[in-house]
Structure 1
Amino acid sequence: MSGLQAIRYTRGKLEVLDQLRLPHEHHYDDVATSEEAFDCIKAMRVRGAPAIAIVAALAHGVELHKGACKASTATETISYIDSRLDYLKESRPTAVDLTNAITHLKSVVRAVETSTLEQAAAKSAVIDAYIAAAEEIFRKDTETNLRIGEHGSKWLLDNAPVKSPEGKISVLTHCNTGSLATSGHGTALGIIRSLHSAGNLYHAFCTETRPYNQGSRLTAFELVYECMPATLITDSMAGALFATKKAERYISAVIVGADRVVRNGDTANKVGTYALAVLARYHGIKFIVAAPTTSIDLQTTTGADIKIEERKPEELTQISGAVVGSNGKVDISRVARVATAHQEIGVWNPAFDVTPAELIDAVVTEKGVVVKSENGAFDFRDIMPERWAAVIEK
């Protein structure tokens, strides 16, 4: 598994890799409070739906471990935890992993039996339960990603419309969904990593990805780090790539992650995903969404009800980075911010778009691969029966 770590944690200490400094500099921020976690998430120093949820959960755990809660009873402690989690929930509204993690953590602390304990012991029991649950979210994410990689690579090998003479396949991915977006291995990039480790990847393409260039800054970095055969393109080159059917450029699948998959299969992901799905359908290329079940939102019926976050205009009109010297080498000690457009132009900068379920061939989860039924709809009840029953059949 990849040695890259976006999150480093031991009880009482959380360090988060500042991904705005990548690929030129590795710097970890100490995150010890909910406010620091909120700022880290909002500023996108950490990003990726699973990683956002993990950082929020663990940051509050560190806070509790260090005695931030001054409540004296279990009831007051639960109220304090609720308020901090509700605050953290507003840091990134589109990604459902954060909401699901918060709902789970609230449920855990309410399940602690404190009626027979003294007040101090009851408070301690609630805090201990919270910290253990937050740590379990972190641990389970890596296990989940490995299973997604296993299920997705197998399904793709069985269903790829074209392979190389050696039986290998080429794919394209969008944005960043690897170790930097999760606790390790990744979701969509995890499938590509699994293909590569088994000797079944011919070539991987990654898009530059607007806004914030997470494909060129982060995914390209991971692909090089893992020594995978890979090529970077701009978002607008995908159609030309799909139409060029030769050698490694004969793409079998587009594999993307998800910030939210709703009940009918509509998927919110980094803006540009929808366009790739349309292009893939036209060219007969499989379109695969890799998403842990924590990213599936059964309470939202269709993608029309997903709140789409909009980012600052400056993210499109300006860019910052390490300076390249006259010798062609990157100087990380010199950082510059430059204008890439007229600063008075109006900007529309949605961070995500919604891909309709009809354009998606498969949703790969840690529980298995979900494909559309005969009526053309996704049905998630078999992979998450308890949540389905709680939401749909109540």
Structure 2
Amino acid sequence: MILTLEWTPDGVRFIDQTKLPLEESYVLATTYQQVADVIVTMVVRGAPAIGVSAAMGVALGAKDTDALTTEEFAPEFEQICEKLASTRPTAVNLFWAIDRMKVLFLRLQGQGASLDEVKQSLLDEALTMYDEDIASCKAIGAHGADLMPDDGGVLTHCNAGALATCGYGTALGVIRGAVERGKQIHVYADETRPFLQGARLTAWELMADGIPTTVLCDSMAASLMRQGKIKAVVVGADRIAANGDVANKIGTYSVAIMAKEHGIPFYVAAPWSTIDRATKTGEDIPIEERPAREVTHHGGKQLTPHGVGICNPAFDVTPAKYVTAIITERGVLRSPYSESLAAGELVSQS
């Protein structure tokens, strides 16, 4: 299994996704500030992986503190959390993971735990999140496998695979689950401009698994749908609002509209940590604006005229009406999502 990130005695080790697919190299973050930089520069990316990375960043900051007591460490802990929370605004898993670490710290502080106990508990929690993420992805794959066609083309956008999680993947986890059951799936991977996560990462993952894959320009999807080559679409998500609106990589909204027009099911695969019931609709989801250089340059070469205006939102929002089902580790949810998401939340609390 691809090791997207892992805790080591020296720091947090990440596969450098900016160098894939031609170079498999790794980055070692030895401070929480370096973990934050790894998230911002997209060395690591994908909502679930970002969340666990942030949790490990908090644990790393605690490990390296010069404080002598838990009370001395408290202001520094808040600073660590604020730094990591400022990295990327759209992926709700980031804030979910940091909030989980905050709740643990406050509980330990209230219990009078020593700083050594706090350090170990924060690390244990981050490692638990890591294991939970892989287990969630495999459960998502199992739930979603039945929804995939027995044979034929499945389209995906961006990369919601092992590289976007701690392992196995969400959307690609569904595809992997279907293939493991003997389904003859051919994946069509949108290249996903401008960062090319589909062309670079999804294709690399699936080829390593021996799953037939074809990369296509984003503008080719509608034509293939019209030709009957696409039987289903499955994508990941960075945040799902309480009404079922889905924020995912820019271009997902277009794919959803095209799927609806051609009568093709459009599935969203995501762990429960991606669901944000505090955000009522997609209109309330903050959309990250990425640097203009990602559009103006490629491979170090400038592609656009000097001074031209650039629009580079990292995500768009797909209204719930275009989503056939949301696949989570708790099962497959269907419209009306305000009800099915609420019911899923109640299950977790019982």
**What TM-score do you get using the length of structure 2 for normalisation?**
0.95
CA RMSD of aligned residues (A): 1.8
Per mean C-alpha deviation after superposition, the further-off stretch among 352-361 and 6-15 is 6-15
Where does residue 147 of structure 1 map in the other structure?
A: 139
Matched, 1:195 2:178: yes
Amino acid across the alignment from 2:184:
L
**What TM-score do you get using the length of structure 1 for normalisation?**
0.85
Amino acid across the alignment from 2:345:
M
Q: Contact 1:32–1:63 at 8 Å: present in 2 too?
A: no
1:5: how far off?
A: 1.6
Q: Distance in 2 between matches of 1:95 and 1:13?
A: 23
Matched, 1:80 2:92: no
Q: Contact 1:114–1:125 at 8 Å: present in 2 too?
A: no
Asked which structure has the greater CA Rg, the reply is 1
**Matching of residues 9-88 of structure 1 within 5 Å:** 9-65=7-63, 68-88=64-84
Where does residue 324 of structure 1 map in the other structure?
A: none
Q: Distance in 2 between matches of 1:388 and 1:275?
A: 36
Distance 1:369 1:28, change over 3 A: same
Q: Distance in 1 between matches of 2:6 and 2:83?
A: 23
The alignment-based identity, stated in percent, is 39
Q: Contact 1:12–1:61 at 8 Å: present in 2 too?
A: no
1:113: how far off?
A: 6.4
Q: Contact 2:90–2:288 at 8 Å: present in 1 too?
A: yes
1:377: how far off?
A: 4.8
Deviations 1:119-141 (A, max 9, x none): xx622222221111111111111
1:388: how far off?
A: 8.0
Q: Distance in 2 between matches of 1:29 and 1:60?
A: 18
Where does residue 327 of structure 1 map in the other structure?
A: none
Where does residue 132 of structure 1 map in the other structure?
A: 124
Q: 1:224 aligns with which of 202, 207, 210?
A: 207
- Which ranges of structure 2 fall in alignment gaps of 5 or more residues? none
Distance 1:378 1:342, change over 3 A: farther
1:11: how far off?
A: 4.6
Deviations 1:322-351 (A, max 9, x none): xxxxxxxxxxxxxxx112222322111111
Amino acid across the alignment from 2:14:
V
Q: Secondary structure at the match of 1:383?
A: helix
Q: 1:215 aligns with which of 198, 207, 218?
A: 198
Amino acid across the alignment from 1:93:
P
Q: Secondary structure at the match of 2:342?
A: coil
Where does residue 293 of structure 1 map in the other structure?
A: 272
Where does residue 340 of structure 1 map in the other structure?
A: 303
Q: Secondary structure at the match of 2:232?
A: strand
Distance 1:131 1:8, change over 3 A: closer
Per mean C-alpha deviation after superposition, the further-off stretch among 19-28 and 339-348 is 339-348
Deviations 1:259-280 (A, max 9, x none): 0001000010000000000000
**Matching of residues 237-252 of structure 1 within 5 Å:** 237-245=220-228, 249=229, 251-252=230-231
Distance 1:387 1:344, change over 3 A: farther
Q: Distance in 1 between matches of 2:223 and 2:335?
A: 29
1:386: how far off?
A: 7.2
**Matching of residues 102-181 of structure 1 within 5 Å:** 102-112=98-108, 115=111, 122-154=114-146, 156-157=147-148, 163=149, 167-181=150-164
Amino acid across the alignment from 1:223:
L
Where does residue 321 of structure 2 map in the other structure?
A: 358
Where does residue 344 of structure 2 map in the other structure?
A: 383
1:56: how far off?
A: 1.6
Matched, 1:205 2:188: yes
Amino acid across the alignment from 1:203:
H
Q: Secondary structure at the match of 1:15?
A: strand
Q: Contact 2:250–2:315 at 8 Å: present in 1 too?
A: yes
1:387: how far off?
A: 7.4
- Which ranges of structure 1 fall in alignment gaps of 5 or more residues? 158-162, 321-336, 390-394
1:12: how far off?
A: 4.8
